[in-house]
Amino acid sequence: MLPGEKGPQDACGVFGVWAPGEEVAKLAYYGLYALQHRGQESAGIAASDGERIAVYKDMGLVSQVFDETTLNTLTGHLAVGHCRYSTTGGSHWANAQPTLGATPHGTVALAHNGNLTNSAELYDKLIDKSGFPSRGEMAQGNTTDTALVTALLAEHPHGSLEDAAMQLLPQLVGSFCLAFMDEHTLYAARDPQGIRPLVLGRLDRGWVVASETAALDIVGASLVREIEPGEFVAIDEHGLRSQRFAETRRAACVFEYVYLARPDTTINGRSVYESRVEMGRRLAREHRVEADLVMPTPESGTPAAIGYAEESGIPFGNGLVKNAYVGRTFIQPSDTIRQLGIRLKLNPLKSVVAGKRLIVIDDSIVRGNTQRALIRMLREAGAAEIHVRISSPPIKWPCFYGIDFASRAELIANGLGVDEIRASLGADSLGYISEDGMVSATRQERSELCTACFSGTYPTRLPDADKLGKNVFEARTPVDSSPRREPGGPSVAQRPEHASAVSIDTRPSSDDGLSRRAAGRTRISDQDPGVHEGSTGCDPGPDSDLEDLLLPEDRVPAGPGTPSAAQPATQPETAKDA
């Protein structure tokens, strides 16, 4: 399907390690590798040797950004890493993480998973108090809430970074899992709702914090516990210490269980894989149908399809073959190639699906274009009947906590009933799991889960619509403080010439604490804001692997009031507050 046709976009992944005597940059690399599914736009690692913090970051996948030579330059005893999907601030090099900031007491390098909903308020307070920052990443064109938090930490006149964090964290609203560091200490913090996951692990010679338990497994760390909602942790040569900056008001994102997290991750004591299998079982009880084969949409629908097959007694099989080696392409297809549909990525097994009554399992439907294309392809392969089953309820509301769903106007379930959606997709039947069934499968208390994208009930109060959205800072940045523009062209970000490295030397010889290698300039594309020249670019999400080719009929709006995918997204509506 064409670039721009997106499903739910992932949150980011954060990783931090304090381990004297270990190759911390390589541990961070493998931790980010395990978290790659959470963000595929950019990646970065900061490391400290006790005197100097160095950061290497760039656009692209973890394996594209780093190599052995690069990692060998990131020496020290602690590191933080990040893989990004953009939710506040556009997708370009200036917004890659970790961010760096020079504070009165040293340096901070910070990585953030989540999305603050009071960013505009905090930004205005910063400007009113100190004016637009004259140094640091915001002054260089970084428009993320991560850079804002870094700047606010630098503004606090407290005796230490730890004191500054304890003063600032209670002021942050929304979802945030922070892994940050100064020259000597690793810090981690999680919002009072615990919307995104964050865990603590133990190495033989140190500690690890990570977005998911799967990242602990890959580096050989044992799970100690979750970082509690509202908890702030510091790790240094004196050990681990914990403080509370807010009372726990747990509202963990249920969509982590449905799609976002890796299936081999455990969240709050519950296996994500088992939750998805159980969702499939409950889906079979709620929407049983006579059929010959249960098949998943690769790969996200597989655990639920296994559960559906187990419960229904209908055989499980793969009706689609996925080419694992084809990434998203920016080569525009000719008219002839376009008629091949999405077979560049998926191809039906005709011997398996021909003449069969199929039950096709997927985790969610956003706009419906992907499912429409898949159903057409299965029909062409000879399927007799196609019954679609979805292991989450209809998505009707946008997320403001780190998942970049389509705007509410683009969500197919907004304003259309289930039978109307079925007709739009071209399926013989359509069934969604109930919200009760989904929640029960997670084995979590309903009161401790955020289901806002299904129910419209948000766990934190939301500001007005003009204070939300990816470009909230761009609208507020003073004209004379914005990144430079070439005449008649798009903005130009500062970027080092060869390695995408930024280092801060905290010794007195540095003027403002910030030194760069020879800075080259990288043009940001207006046509594809997720890609700079020379980058492959990525858009994560359940449908992103299938986003190269769409036939015109797949892009037809599902009903009146729903814009086509080619039209610009509208500002999401804000639902009722909790």
Q: Is 362 annotated as a binding residue?
A: yes
Round to whole Å and give the CA distance between 485 and 216. 43
Q: Is 83 annotated as a binding residue?
A: no
User: What would the mean pLDDT of 64-72 be, rounded to a whole number?
Assistant: 93
| Shared-domain flag, residues 65 and 175 | yes
Here the tokens at position 209 are: 């914090």
Q: Is residue 383 part of a domain?
A: yes
| Shared-domain flag, residues 30 and 64 | yes
What local confidence, expressed as pLDDT, does residue 234 receive?
Answer: 98
| Shared-domain flag, residues 132 and 98 | yes
Average pLDDT, the chain: 80
| Shared-domain flag, residues 242 and 279 | no
| Shared-domain flag, residues 99 and 198 | yes
Q: Is 300 annotated as a binding residue?
A: yes
What local confidence, expressed as pLDDT, does residue 339 receive?
Answer: 55
What local confidence, expressed as pLDDT, does residue 154 receive?
Answer: 84
User: What would the mean pLDDT of 498-516 be, rounded to a whole number?
Assistant: 38
The catalytic site residues sit at 12
Residue 193: what are its φ and ψ, rounded to 5°? -85, -20
What local confidence, expressed as pLDDT, does residue 132 receive?
Answer: 78
Total domains, the chain: 2
CATH of the domain at 321: 3.40.50.2020
Q: Is 190 helix (H, G, I), strand (E, B) or coil?
A: strand
Q: Is 363 annotated as a binding residue?
A: yes
Q: Is 538 annotated as a binding residue?
A: no
Question: Which position has the higher pLDDT, 112 or 531?
Answer: 112
Q: Which of 49-63, 81-95, 237-251, 395-409 has the lowest mean pLDDT?
A: 81-95
| Shared-domain flag, residues 390 and 307 | yes
CA distances to 59, 85, 97, 281 from 500, in Å: 9, 18, 11, 47
Round to whole Å and give the CA distance between 31 and 11. 16
| Shared-domain flag, residues 184 and 151 | yes
| Shared-domain flag, residues 242 and 282 | no
* Residue 380 lies in domain: 272-443
| Shared-domain flag, residues 347 and 411 | yes
Here the tokens at position 266 are: 């455990």
Question: Which position has the higher pLDDT, 319 or 140?
Answer: 319
pLDDT at 505 over 60: no
Q: Is 525 annotated as a binding residue?
A: no
pLDDT tens per residue across span 554-563: 555 555 444 3
Tokens 């541990």: give the residue: 27
pLDDT at 76 over 90: yes
Confidence of residue 250 (pLDDT cuts 50, 70, 90): very high
Burial of 224 (0-12, 13-18, 19+ CB in 10 A): middle
| Shared-domain flag, residues 25 and 116 | yes
Q: Is residue 227 part of a domain?
A: yes
CATH of the domain at 185: 3.60.20.10
Burial 155-164 (b: 16+ CB within 10 A, else e): bbebebbbeb
| Shared-domain flag, residues 338 and 400 | yes
Round to whole Å and give the CA distance between 442 and 309. 19
Q: Is residue 571 part of a domain?
A: no
pLDDT at 73 over 80: yes
Here the tokens at position 244 are: 């509370």
| Shared-domain flag, residues 144 and 40 | yes
